[in-house]
Every structure is written in C-alpha cells, then in structure tokens.
Structure 1
Amino acid sequence: MSGIDVGHGGAISVDPDELRQLAGRMDAAALRHDEAARALRTAYQRIVDTPGLSALVDTVALWGLCQRSSVLHGECVDAAASTRLMADTYEYVELLIEARARGFGAVGDEARAGMRRLEESDPRIPDLARGLIERWEDERFAGLITQVPLGGLLGPVGIVPALVGAGSRLGVIPRGSRLRGVAEPVTVTPVKTATPSAAPSGLAGALSRIPEKRGAQVAVEKYSFAGGAAKYVVYVKGTQTFAPGDMGGPDPWDMKSNSQLYLGQTSASYEATLAAVEAAGARPGDEVRIVAHSQGGMVASHVAMQSEYDVPLVVTAGSPVDPTLDEDQTLVALGYTDDPVRALAGGGSPAGTGSRDSVVVTAEHSPGFAWGDFGEPHLLAAYVDLAEDADAAADPRIESVERLWDDLDDAAVIERTEYRAERTAR
C-alpha cells in the first residue's frame, strides 16, 4: 500500500475561511518583523553615532539582523497575499460548483454573483480555479492507470468505471435528490444479538463491526441513555451476490440493487436497511450514524440525504457514490485509488462535501499490477487495513472525527442486533 492521503476531497483541500485566518496570522508576523527591523535600525544608528561605542558592539552582525528582519517582513507580506489569493480561488471553485448544481434559480444566481465579485477583485482567480479543477481531474484516478497489464489488455477494467462516474455525473448525488420508484417488498428478521461494552474505537474499529459472515446484511446498535434518550449506529454490508441469475433474487444486496441505487432508483437493500433501523426502535428525528461498505455506501448516502432520521456522521469504504451532505453532517470516505468500484464515484465532488470535519482518506492499494491483486482493493478487509493506517497517522482531522464517537460511551445500555433481509413475492 502507498502512503495515505487525508483531505477534504475534491479540488479544495482546505476551507477558504481557514486560509484567511492563516493570512491574518501572517500579517501579524509581518508587523512584528517590521517593528523588529525598525528597532534594530534605530539601535544601529545610535551605536555608530556614539564615539567609541562601535568598538564594543558587532555592528556588522547587528546590521545583518536588521536586514534579515526586513526580508522576513517582506516574505510574510507576500505569503499573506498569496494565501488570501488561494482562499479566494478555493471560494471561487465552491461557487462554481454551486452555480452548476443549482442552475439558474436564486441560489445559482447568487453563486454567480459571488464569482463575479471575486473576478473583479483579482482577474487571476478564474484561471487559477480552472487549474485547480484540471489538476484534480488529472490526479483523481492515479491508481487505476497502473492497473494495465499485458499491453493494456485489462486497462479498461479499471479506467472505464472511472470514466462512467465522471462522464455520467452519477458518482455524486446532487443536493435535494430522492430515490425514484418502488422496490420489491422485503422481510427483515433479527438473526443475532449482542451487548457491546463500548462504542467503536477508531475508523478501523467501526468498519470491523460491519457484519462479516453471510446471514446478515445490516447491524444496528442502540445506545440507550439515562432519561430514555437513544442513539443508533447502523452498519451496512456491501454486495453479497454477483451472479447474473440473482438479479432480483432473494438477497437484496445484489447487482440489481447496485444498478438501481447508482441510477437513483429505490432498491430492496435501501428499504431493508430502513426496516432494520425501525425494527431496532429508531423513530423519525432520532440520531442515526452509519458505517457502510461498497453498495452499503450508496444506501448510507441516501439515508443521510433523504430519510427522516438525524444523520450526523456517515463513514463509507469503497462506495461508488459520494453524497452531498449538509454543513452539519460529517462524511468520512475511504477509497483506494486502484479500486474500480470506488472509481465509479468519478472522483467525487470538486468542492468536497459535508462539514469542515469531513475527510477523504485515499491510498493506492497495489502499486503496479499482479494478477492476485485484481479486485483485492475493494474487499472490506483491505479497507480495514486502510482505516488502521488512518487511525495510526495521528492526523488531527482523523482525531476530530474519532471524537464524534465519544458521547456514545456515556450510554447506560448498548444493544446490537444483526438483521437478515430477503425479497418477498408481491
């Protein structure tokens, strides 16, 4: 595995407001360097003007300090200006994505007005923004390009999903989207119960709670607190059967549900997940956090965007789509750059998504190519490995996400139920 990369996703690596705050600190540093330079110049002048004093002081070194302080002042001024320019450029990208997504309604018009304001403040900004997006587009499928053995014979296996996701724009679920149609009816049956001693610890700990063995596709943990309040964590599996004969078979986690969800249609797996959450006791408005792999990532995205539950946190691994979450929702998306299924997300949104705490963790699973590697980057076990590396990275962004689990440890009772879902005849 190559080294991991932790960011906010898309072409915007940091929040524009954070950059502006950094520029403000640079301005303060520039002011202090300027004050130091003036004080040193005054001291130097007094020393050389006082007969005999120069012999007691190294005036050459003193003048060198004066010059260095002046240089540092200029460097800080330039760095602050460049940082503000990048902040404006990142904001321009955000507004550009918003304008494209919203069309010509009031919100889209407001975004375009913001773009014009930034263009008028500095004519370099549009070109810089285009450069950011182009670089992101060039780099988002980096790992797949290496998966081209035998003179390119298998190249399309990796790159075609990426092109499908990028070209169709199906890899990013637009704000306000709702699944269409009606799925086949399902039955949901509890098959296993447990009483965990604590909430998940770290990203790897959360992914490891996704049901492993066949027989259950969804697990729901109910955290009951003193006073009667309850919160829930839902764990959703990935695709369980790939056989063409199972298109619409008894297991809702099949290729039929995959294609339905990717095309924005209601699937039996989505309905089964909601039924499991309800069976565990959750009611509209209750807080529900979701951890999901592969197809489960599509289910989780739509639950977060359109269900009646309060979904503050979504963790996905190898999801073929990215949701467009609100600013009070946090997305943690883990993806191998050489995972063809993850590539269906088309690189995600150039503007990122969710709260400021949202993070995208990426790495190349198998640099180069070996026959035994094909498909391995998409396995849940491979994503647990990536999550372990992220947990061990001591990155403050990962640490801030891990704190989102802390309140669950105050629960008086934790109950876990695993559910088996099946399609039923109408």
Structure 2
Amino acid sequence: MSDELIVSGGGSYSIATDEMLSSASELQRAADMTRDIAGSIRMVDDRLTVQQMESWGVPAGAVLVEDDLNCAFGELQVLANRAEELSGIVRFAAHTYGWVENLSEAALRKLSADAAALLGFLFPLWSTALLRASPIIPLLAGIGVGFHVLGGRDRPLLTPEQLSTALNELISDPTFVLALRHGVMSADEFAAGAAGIPPDLVSALSAAGLIGLGTSAGLVQGAGGLGGVLKETPVTQVSKTTPVPVSAPQGSRDRVDRIPQPTQENPEQIRIERYELPGGEEHFEVYVAGTQDFALSGTAEPWDFTSNISNAVGRNAASVAAVEAAMRDAGITEGSSVGLNGYSQGAAVAARIAASGEYNVSGLFTIGGPIGQIPVPPDVETIVVEHTDDVVPATGGLQDNANALVVQREAFGGRSLPEGQVVPAHQHSEYAETARLMDESGSEEIQNATRRLSDPTNGATSATVTEYSYARVQP
C-alpha cells in the first residue's frame, strides 16, 4: 500500500508529496528555533560584558567566554540561514514542478480538445453512439476490443473471471485514469464537431467556456429522455431519526467515517449535525452518501445513475433536491453557517450546493467525487481527496478549482487488487485510510486546511445529529 500523499492546489501551482512539505516546514521551524537560541545568546552577550566580569573578580581566562558567545551566535545564524534556504528551495522546487505540470496539462487539454473537435467534424456519424449511450458504454466497448487483443488470435478469449480481473486492472491504472480525465474533457468538443460546427469555432467556444462537460452530459441526458430514461423526478422524505447528542469531528478520518453508508436497516443518505455556539449562533455540518443504485430509470432511489448525469449537467439532480429538503427541515437557511461533506455522488451533490451561492458555506470536504468541473466559490475552504487509481473522480474531468487543496494517493500502489471488488480504489474504506494518513501528515498545508474546516464548530456549547432518508416520487 502506498502511504505517499501528493498535495497540490490551495491557491498555488505547488505540487509535492506531504513528506517534502513536512520537511520544508521542519526546516523552517528549525531555522526559527535556531534564531531564537541565537537571540538568547546575543541577549546574554549584551548583558555580560568583559568589564562586568572583571569587576566581579572573574578569572582572566573566563573572559574568553565573550569570544565563545560571539562565535556561537555567528554559527547559529549561519545554520538558521541555511535551514531557511533549504526550506525555500524545497518549496520552490514544488512550485516550479507544479507550474510546469500545469502548463503541460493546459497544452494537452488544448490538443485533446482540438483533436476531438476535428474527429467529430470528420466522422459525424459517431455522434449517434455518443448521444444514445451513457459515457461509460463507449469506454467499455473499447475495453472489450482490447481484451480480444489480449486473448490473441491463436488463444481462446479470456474467461469471464479473467475478463473482470483484467478490466479492473485497466481501470485501476493511474495512467488510464488520467487519460480518462482528458477524454471526458474532450467529449463536448467531439459532440460539437459531430454536430457540424467547424473545429476552429469549436475551439473558440471551448476557450470562452460556452461548452464544457455539462454540455455533453446534457446531450446524454436529453437523448436518454427521448428513450424514457435519465428523467428526474420529485423526492419525498421517507424517514428521519430523532436528534441525538454528537461531538465535533476530529480530523479528516472522523469526517469520512460520518459520511452515511446506507443499508436496509439504516437507509439514511443524509446526516446533518447542528451546533449551538456562544451568542445564540448556529453552525451545521452536512454529510452526503454516494451512489446507491446504477439504474437509469424506474427506481425509488434518488442516489442513482440518473442523478449522476444530472449532477454533471447542473443542479437539478434528485439527490441535490433531497439534501436541500433535508437542510430546510433541519433549519438551515441562506444565512446559516454550513459545512458540506460528501463521498462519490455525495461529493458532487455537496459541490453543487456550494457552487449555487445560495448558502453560507464555510467549508467543503469531498472524497472520491467527480467535481473537477463544478465551480466551487474560491472563498469556500475546500479539501478534495482523490485516488489516482480511482476512475470515479476522473469522470468529472480535470480539477479546475485552483483554490481547493487537493490531496491524492495511489490506493493500490505496491499491492495487488482484491478479487471480486469492482473499482477497489473507490471504496469508502480506502478513502478512510487516506484520511488517516492526512491526519498523521506533517504537512502544514494539510493540517492548516483541516483546522480551518473545523474552526466553525470551535466553542460549541451543544450539538445534535439527525439523519434523513429520501425517495423518488414515481409518476
């Protein structure tokens, strides 16, 4: 298992491991401590003069301590300067690497988009398959072709078990996941080109932000609607638990553990904590579950594939409607201080609510969510946790929230994938482990952002938690 965390964003181009950032912080602390010691020595040196020592009858040889103090002060200053320089070099390296990475990503994004627009323009009939299938179907078709190749002409095709294992290995490959991110970002340009729009005009529309991931997702949703699927419905509250006392979350692992994992016995998809603060003010923490059903229609579950598509399009998903209804029931208004937390689809729901600007959102914490193209306001303290071998965040495209602190880890780096578990890097338990590593990290970036997320609950005089379950209202 890989314990290495990659930290980026947070308002800068810096990209580095948490170990590098921890080392930079330790070097800076060492420099500060060394200067404090040097300052103490200087203070003693200033107060302990040769004349004073001679007036006290100190032996002449002891007067040499004056020179020793001066020497110690100079050496400590040199050490402090070197430690500070090394700290700066580490951070400069992280910033430079991040800047180059960002530049390369922008160039690759532009190249992919232009190529997709040209491909769609030259082969417009391909758009039929794009509009009639979900984004995953063409992907699986291509993977199927790959497995035929893997089987070889002179060998039997892979068995279903081997096929499943090979598929899992492919979609858990960080290189494939990164390629998928760029592929998702180019889907709208391909669709626009296939619609007959000249590639140059498509490029201009893309640069102006007039087409994007939401555009292609909207086309998929519209095509699905013509076929009687991917249609949104109203929601209704099914159950609500009695409020019980709760304590404030202690770190990232605690936040992950509080995100609901619905079961038949406990079907609640939403958890809302209400904190009473001194002076009569209140703060709320909302936790949102991930996808529960991958059906395209006919299900009572709001956390289904239809809501996944709707979240990619905008804010009309049933899961978003359910969370907002629960928030109203809990007493959350547009002026209430609220923190949002979510896993997978729940992360997209939380990001959509934060992006709406209709609530006083103090912080956003997401794990394994496709939120790269959901524009979270820059003044919202945001921590995004992703696994580089998890395809789910990749379906949200590249991460464009520059002010979000992004923490990444390859969940299965250096260990075998478990048998019989689809998309293992997306498992809630794997993100809980990443959150534990974050809590133990020495990175000031991670620790400071985590602390800021918890600031609104500091000093709470009491707190309670209520959980909600919602269902779709079928026609």
Q: What secondary structure is seen at the aligned counterpart in 2 of 1:362?
A: strand
Give 2:471's aligned residue.
422
> What are the residue-to-residue correspondences of 1:153-168 with 2, within 5 Å?
153-154=166-167, 157-158=171-172, 162-168=178-184
How far does the alpha carbon of each residue in 1:254-305 deviate from its partner, in whole angstroms, 9 at most, with x for none? 1111122123351100110111111100111211111100000110111011
How far does the alpha carbon of each residue in 1:374-399 deviate from its partner, in whole angstroms, 9 at most, with x for none? 42221112211110111112321222
Give 2:285's aligned residue.
233
Give 1:380's aligned residue.
428
Give 2:376's aligned residue.
325
1:300 and 2:346 matched: no
> What are the residue-to-residue correspondences of 1:194-343 with 2, within 5 Å?
194-214=243-263, 215-243=267-295, 247-264=297-314, 266-322=316-372, 323-343=374-394
> What are the residue-to-residue correspondences of 1:18-417 with 2, within 5 Å?
130-131=103-104, 151=150, 153-154=166-167, 157-158=171-172, 162-169=178-185, 183-214=232-263, 215-243=267-295, 247-264=297-314, 266-322=316-372, 323-349=374-400, 352-354=401-403, 358-367=404-413, 369-372=416-419, 374-403=422-451, 404-417=453-466
Q: 1:80 to 1:419 in 2, by over 3 A?
A: closer
Separation of aligned partners in 2, 1:279 and 1:325: 24
Shift of 1:200: 0.3
How far does the alpha carbon of each residue in 1:1-59 deviate from its partner, in whole angstroms, 9 at most, with x for none? 212324224992169xxxxxx9xx9xxxxxxxxxxxxxxxxxxxxxxxxxxxxxxxxxx
Q: Is the 8 A contact 1:252 1:421 kept in 2?
A: yes
Shift of 1:232: 0.7
Q: 1:348 to 1:129 in 2, by over 3 A?
A: closer
Give 2:200's aligned residue.
none
Q: Is the 8 A contact 2:181 2:395 kept in 1?
A: yes
TM-score, normalised relative to structure 2: 0.57
Shift of 1:339: 1.1
Structure 1, unpaired ranges of 5+: 16-21, 26-68, 94-126, 138-147
Task: Name the count of aligned residue pairs.
Answer: 323
Tell me the amino acid that sits aligned with residue 184 of structure 1.
T
Shift of 1:80: 8.6
Q: 1:406 to 1:86 in 2, by over 3 A?
A: closer
Tell me the amino acid that sits aligned with residue 230 of structure 1.
E
C-alpha RMSD over aligned residues: 4.5
Separation of aligned partners in 1, 2:432 and 2:422: 18
Q: Is the 8 A contact 1:165 1:343 kept in 2?
A: yes
Shift of 1:131: 4.6
Shift of 1:201: 0.4
Tell me the amino acid that sits aligned with residue 366 of structure 1.
F
Q: What secondary structure is seen at the aligned counterpart in 1 of 2:286?
A: strand
Shift of 1:412: 2.3
Shift of 1:88: 9.0
Separation of aligned partners in 1, 2:423 and 2:102: 35
Give 1:41's aligned residue.
none
How far does the alpha carbon of each residue in 1:47-102 deviate from its partner, in whole angstroms, 9 at most, with x for none? xxxxxxxxxxxxxxxxxxxxxx9xxx9xx99x999988997997xx6xxxxxxxxx
Q: Is the 8 A contact 1:219 1:416 kept in 2?
A: yes
Q: 1:134 to 1:282 in 2, by over 3 A?
A: same
Tell me the amino acid that sits aligned with residue 393 of structure 2.
R
Separation of aligned partners in 2, 1:365 and 1:291: 21
Q: Share of identical aligned residues, percent?
A: 26
Shift of 1:406: 3.7
Give 2:7's aligned residue.
7
Q: Which has the higher contact order (CA 8 A, sep 6+)?
A: 1
Q: Is the 8 A contact 1:190 1:420 kept in 2?
A: yes
Tell me the amino acid that sits aligned with residue 360 of structure 1.
V
Q: Is the 8 A contact 1:248 1:256 kept in 2?
A: no
Q: 1:189 to 1:228 in 2, by over 3 A?
A: farther
Q: 1:414 to 1:136 in 2, by over 3 A?
A: farther
Q: 1:315 to 1:87 in 2, by over 3 A?
A: closer
How far does the alpha carbon of each residue in 1:348-388 deviate from its partner, in whole angstroms, 9 at most, with x for none? 23xx522xxx4222111123643525422211122111101
Q: 1:308 to 1:263 in 2, by over 3 A?
A: closer
Q: 1:190 to 1:375 in 2, by over 3 A?
A: same
Q: What secondary structure is seen at the aligned counterpart in 2 of 1:328?
A: coil
Shift of 1:248: 4.3
Structure 2, unpaired ranges of 5+: 17-24, 29-76, 111-145, 152-165, 188-208, 222-230
Q: Is the 8 A contact 1:194 1:415 kept in 2?
A: yes
Shift of 1:238: 0.1
Q: Is the 8 A contact 2:171 2:390 kept in 1?
A: no
Separation of aligned partners in 2, 1:331 and 1:277: 20
Tell me the amino acid that sits aligned with residue 370 of structure 1.
L
Q: Is the 8 A contact 1:163 1:346 kept in 2?
A: no
Q: 1:304 to 1:400 in 2, by over 3 A?
A: same
